Amino acid sequence: MIRPVVLAGLALTLAACDGGGDPVQQALRDASAERQAALVKDGTVSGPEPTQEAADVGERHWEGRPTRSDYAFRSSDRALQASMAAASGHTPEESYAARMIAHHEGAIAMAKVALAESTDPEIRRIAQTTLDTRTTELAELRAWQAGR
């Protein structure tokens, strides 16, 4: 027979897991749910197009409004998500290699966007380093796959 104290403890634990507990965490969950509800219409994620003013001044992503820079990375983001979801293998090693190849291809695509779009010398240096190192690692991973 389950003791009443155990039941009370279980009820408190479940309450804490179901939105109870830390009020800061609850406020963050509530704010996130509100933002999500504002962006999802009829089951589709949507949001306003960036304003020309935002594009002109390079305004950062704010309140769900994508900026010109967000759109520059959209294609590489979608390709990365699709290739990561499709990457698999029969062994942990094969899965690792397939996922890292997809990940590196995404990193290379993002580095190319950064090189094409950024004027910041430090970001351009980091992007070029990313492009160089990930290209080398990508070749190593593909060679490993080919040797299997």
Q: Where along the chain do its domains lie?
A: 1-46, 50-148
Nearest to 26 by CA among 100, 34, 113: 34
Q: What is the pTM of this model?
A: 0.53
CA distance 119 to 48: 27
- Which pLDDT score is estimated for 30? 72
pLDDT given for residue 20 in this prediction:
54
Please write the tens of the pLDDT for every residue from 18-36: 555 677 767 677 766 676 6
Asked if residues 89 and 97 have their Cβ atoms less than 8 Å apart, the reply is yes
- Return the bridge partners of 11, or none: none
Burial of 68 (0-12, 13-18, 19+ CB in 10 A): middle
Nearest to 132 by CA among 106, 111, 118: 111
pLDDT above 70: percentage of residues in the chain: 58
Average pLDDT over residues 84-93: 86
Cβ atoms within 10 A of the Cβ of 98, count? 18
Res 81: pLDDT: 81
- Note the pLDDT of residue 50: 47
What is the pLDDT at residue 75? Answer: 77
Query: Which of 4-13, 31-40, 54-63, 72-81 reaches the highest mean pLDDT?
Result: 72-81
| The pLDDT of residue 125 | 96
